[in-house]
Homo-oligomer: A and B are copies of this chain.
Amino acid sequence: MAKLKKKERHDALLNILETDPFLTDEELSEKFGVSIQTIRLDRLSLNIPELRERVKSVATNNYEKVRTLGQAEIVGELIDLELNKRAISFLQTDDTMAFQRTRIVKGHYIFAMAESLAMAVVDANVCITGVANMKYRVPVAAGQKLVAKAELTRVRGSEYFVHVIINVNNDQVFRSKFILTALNVG
């Protein structure tokens, strides 16, 4: 690797740590062909924490995320629930849920909130989504607090019709209809 100027090295450093935050100062110094001290100075001036802190933050950040997004069966906090009638949930949005460029929250987070609330309101062991129709009325900005309200409107055999609307400050940003099918599972 050709010798880089300081500025170039800084950019490259940010870049490389973005894709692999698990490199030690020593490994970095070898990659750039400079001394360890130079790397340390770079990190200092760029406010990049040491390896252990980086690893820790990757660990804790994702820990939360995987807990609430991957493992939890409901997206958002369930605030109120009357089975087969209505349910309310709350979701605090943040930058990790948004497109970087526009800071508009990605549709599937909103969809996930609505779908999981629709499922929660149905009094059945297991149910799957059959049909979903939705209308995004207003884009949601990262940081806004979402309140979802679900209402069971109709039951036809094992099919459940659920309306879910999502508000920000009492303004409707999203509305949807789901048809869920209940399954008979142990």
Name the B residues within 8 Å of A58 (CB-CB): 59, 62-63
One of B65, B111, B139, B185 near A66 (C-beta < 8 A): B65
- Determine the distance from Cα of A120 to Cα of B98 in the docked complex, in whole angstroms: 16
- Determine the distance from Cα of A58 to Cα of B58 in the docked complex, in whole angstroms: 8
A131 in contact with B136 given A62-B58, A65-B62 (CB within 8 Å): yes
- Determine the distance from Cα of A185 to Cα of B65 in the docked complex, in whole angstroms: 29
Tell me the nearest residue of chain B to A139, going by C-beta.
Answer: B128
Name the B residues within 8 Å of A97 (CB-CB): 70
- Determine the distance from Cα of A22 to Cα of B59 in the docked complex, in whole angstroms: 9
CB distance from A26 to the nearest CB of B (A): 16
Interface size on A, residues (CB 8 A): 43
Please tell me if the beta carbons of B99 and A73 are within 8 angstroms of each other in the complex.
Answer: yes
**A36, CB-defined interface residue at 8 Å:** no
**A88, CB-defined interface residue at 8 Å:** no
**A134, CB-defined interface residue at 8 Å:** yes
CB distance from A151 to the nearest CB of B (A): 19
Name the B residues within 8 Å of A75 (CB-CB): 108
- Interchain residue pairs with CB less than 8 A apart (10): A22-B56, A56-B59, A59-B62, A65-B70, A75-B108, A99-B126, A104-B126, A106-B112, A108-B115, A131-B133
